């Protein structure tokens, strides 16, 4: 699926959440599933305090316990690595694999206006939660709705170009 204006959108894949060792390795928290998939994307972009995205390349990575660690090009010691703590890791949307017409990346759904079949605006998608059984959309409007992501039965239509999602969800459901 090719959408106008989505190519340059930054997709957050994870964040740097710690230091590892004295040679500049960093602990990586991945939002991808499985978590190792974060390393399939390159180069990463990192936003420093200047608000500009800067390219960052992974020199090496490995699993460490239940987490991931990575060595970045140009990061050679713990002091340099400490400047990266808490920063998000992203790629441009165009670096993501194309999806089928009925598939969507979570980042593309955040911000969509959600309407039910009675044309009642429920609000906008602010986040998506992974619950195990099925994912759940958090829709914020005059009230907060938790809408299960069930294609066909609950999610009726998604129009990314219009920025809308149609759901079979009563305004009375919380």
Q: How confident is the model at residue 1 (pLDDT cuts 50, 70, 90)?
A: very low
Q: What angle do CA 98, 160, 45 make, to 5 degrees?
A: 55
Neighbours of 137 (CB within 10 A): 27
Q: How confident is the model at residue 126 (pLDDT cuts 50, 70, 90)?
A: very high
- Sign of the C-alpha dihedral, residues 3, 87, 112, 32? positive
Residue 5 has pLDDT above 70, yes or no: no
Neighbours of 11 (CB within 10 A): 20
Q: How confident is the model at residue 143 (pLDDT cuts 50, 70, 90)?
A: very high
The topology (CATH level 3) of 106-167 is: SH3 type barrels. (2.30.30)
Neighbours of 148 (CB within 10 A): 15
| Average pLDDT along the chain | 90
Listed range (1-15, 57-71, 92-106) with the worst mean pLDDT: 1-15
Pick the residue with more confidence: 87 or 173?
87
| Token couple for 82 | 């400490």
- The rounded distance, in Å, linking the Cα atoms of 9 and 31 is 17
Domain ranges within the chain, ordered by starting residue:
10-95, 106-167
CA 115 to chain centre: 23
Do the beta carbons of residue 67 and residue 16 sit within 8 Å?
no
The residues, any chain, with a CB within 8 Å of residue 62's CB and separated by 6 or more, are 68, 69
The secondary structure of 69-116 as a DSSP string is EEEETT--SHHHHHTTTT-EEEEEGGGSPP--TT---HHHHTT-EEEE
> What's the pLDDT score for residue 159?
94
Which residue reads 């009675």 in tokens?
118
Q: How confident is the model at residue 2 (pLDDT cuts 50, 70, 90)?
A: very low
Q: What angle do CA 43, 48, 50 make, to 5 degrees?
A: 125
Which residue reads 């969800």 in tokens?
169
CATH second-level architecture of 10-95? Beta Barrel (2.40)
Residue 19 has pLDDT above 60, yes or no: yes
Share of the chain above pLDDT 90, in %: 70
Mean pLDDT of 145-160: 94
């Amino acid at each position: 699926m090719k959408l106008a204006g989505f190519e340059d959108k930054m997709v957050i894949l994870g964040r740097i959440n710690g230091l590892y060792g004295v040679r500049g390795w960093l602990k990586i928290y991945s939002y991808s599933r499985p978590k190792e998939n974060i390393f399939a994307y390159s180069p990463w972009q990192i936003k420093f305090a200047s608000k500009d995205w800067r390219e960052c390349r992974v020199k090496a990575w490995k699993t460490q316990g239940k987490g991931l660690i990575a060595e970045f090009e140009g990061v050679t010691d713990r002091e340099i690595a400490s400047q990266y703590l808490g920063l998000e890791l992203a790629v441009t949307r165009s670096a993501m694999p194309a999806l089928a017409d009925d598939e969507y990346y979570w980042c593309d759904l955040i911000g969509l206006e959600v309407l039910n079949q009675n044309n009642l605006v429920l609000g906008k998608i602010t986040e998506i939660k992974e619950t195990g059984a099925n994912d759940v959309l958090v829709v914020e409007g005059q009230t907060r709705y938790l809408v299960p992501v069930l294609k066909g039965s609950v999610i009726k239509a998604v129009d990314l170009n219009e920025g809308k999602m149609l759901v079979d969800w009563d305004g009375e459901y919380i």
